[in-house]
């Protein structure tokens, strides 16, 4: 993958990761549904309710995570990082490198198993939208040093 050329989508692995997370949430939700339904209704009804919850919530989560993944593009420009994402609310963010205060690379345990990293560019503004989830771990390292080399010195506030 070549970061410097054009608009890059997120790693396809991150979609798998998001769907696993959504699956866990659906499992917890349907488990609690099963508990409540099992205490109040006969077994057949319980099975039906759980099946419907799993199908609806699971399907919605599958579809939505797909939409979110497809909406994502980022571009490491010459002077700024450009992000495009969002399903209902679409955002096109521009973060000029000379405003960057520091760069974070974050990865939870699940992300590490998938060799994924979240890249965050911090500016002096708290409202800056500059989180890129799901970059390949080795690519992220390269990206960080690449951006750090472009970050200017001086007072960014």
Partner 1 sequence: MAPLPPIDRPRRTSPRGALLAVFGADQLRALFPVLVVAASSGRFLLVIGVAVVLGATYNVASWWRRTWWFADGVLHLDEGVVVRSERRIPVERIQHVEVERKLRHQVFDLSVVRVETAGGSGAELRLDAITVPEAERLRASLAPTAGSAGPGGPGVETGRDPVAGDSVGDDVLVRLPPGRLLLAGITGPEVAAVLAALAVALDLLSDLGVDPDELGQIDATRLGLALAVVVGVPVWLLTAGIVGVVRRWDLTARIVGDDLRVTYGLLRKAEFAVNLTRIQDVRIAHRLLLRPFARVDVRVRTAASGAGQQSRVDIPLLDAIEVDRVLRRVLPAAIPLPRLLPAPPAARRRAVFRGGLAGAGFGALVAAASARFGAVALLAIPAGAVIGVAWGVAAYRGLGAAVAGTTRPVVHSRAGAFTRHHAIVPSLRVQSTAVESTYFQRRRGLASARLDLSGAAVAIVDRGVDDATEVAVAASGVDGNGRKTDEAPASAGASMRSM
Q: What is the nearest approach in angstroms of partner 1 to the Cβ of residue 10?
A: 18
Q: Is the dihedral of CA 151, 152, 155, 157 positive or negative?
A: negative
The number of residues in the chain equals: 157
Cβ-contact 99, 31 below 8 angstroms: no
**Nearer to partner 1 (CB atom), residue 129 or residue 141:** 129
Q: Minimum Å distance from CB 62 to partner 1?
A: 21
Q: How many angstroms separate the Cα of 40 from the Cα of each of 57, 58, 123?
A: 22, 24, 53
Phi, psi of 68 (to 5 degrees): -60, -45
**Which residues bind to partner 1, rule: CB under 8 A?**
75-82, 86, 88-96, 99, 123-130, 155-157
Rounded to the nearest whole angstrom, what is the least distance from the CB of residue 106 to partner 1 in the complex? 18
CB of 39 to partner 1, least distance (A): 35
CA distance readout (Å), 135 to 68, 126, 132, 141: 15, 22, 7, 10
Q: Which is nearer to partner 1, 15 or 83 (CB)?
A: 83
CB atoms within 10 A of CB 70: 13
> Cβ closer to partner 1: 125 or 138?
125
Nearer to partner 1, 32 or 125 (CB): 125
């Amino acid at each position: 993958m070549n970061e410097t050329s054009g608009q890059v989508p997120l790693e396809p692995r991150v979609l798998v990761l998001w769907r696993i997370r959504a699956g866990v949430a659906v499992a917890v939700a349907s488990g609690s549904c099963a508990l409540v339904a099992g205490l109040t209704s006969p077994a057949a009804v319980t099975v039906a309710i759980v099946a419907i919850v799993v199908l609806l919530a699971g399907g919605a989560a599958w579809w939505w995570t797909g939409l979110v993944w497809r909406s994502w593009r980022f571009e490491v420009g010459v002077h700024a990082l450009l992000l495009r994402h969002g399903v209902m609310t679409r955002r096109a963010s521009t973060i000029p490198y000379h405003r960057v205060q520091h760069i974070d690379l974050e990865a939870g345990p699940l992300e590490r198993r998938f060799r994924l990293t979240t890249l965050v560019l911090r500016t002096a503004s708290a409202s800056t939208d500059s989180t890129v989830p799901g970059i390949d771990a080795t690519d992220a390292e390269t990206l960080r040093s690449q951006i750090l080399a472009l970050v200017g010195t001086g007072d960014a506030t």
